[in-house]
Amino acid sequence: MPRKKKTTDFEQSLQDLESIVTQMEQGELSLEDSLKAFEEGVSLTRECQNILAQAEQKVQLLMESGGELKTEPFDPEEGS
């Protein structure tokens, strides 16, 4: 179940970040509320980046060639 939780955390964090961006774009927040929202957005962005970095490391570890593990950067364009 931990995998499900991380996915949910990432998706929820991304949703929260999108909500913050929408609120800030509307321009109806006070300066103080805007600063709090910005601070929360930075925190959520870092959290999402960490989760993505961990996922990338797992992909690199799972890449196997000839029975030996090798690391290759994940390139989504390569499969196209």
**From CA 5, how far away is CA 2, in angstroms rounded?**
5
Task: Identify whether 77 is part of a domain.
Answer: no
Answer whether residue 74 is part of any domain: no
What is the count of structural domains for the chain? 1
CATH label of the domain that carries residue 19: 1.10.287.1040
Would you say residue 78 lies in a domain?
Answer: no
Tens-place pLDDT, residues 58-69: 877 776 555 566
Candidates 23, 51, 50, 26; CA nearest to 36 is: 23
Look at residue 79 and tell me if it is in a domain.
no
Judge whether 20 lies within some domain. Answer: yes
Which DSSP helix (H) or strand (E) runs through 69? strand 68-69
- Residue pLDDT, tens place only, 8-17: 689 999 999 9
The string of pLDDT tens digits covering residues 15-63 is 999 999 999 999 999 999 999 999 999 999 999 999 999 888 887 777 6
Domain range spanning residue 44? 2-69
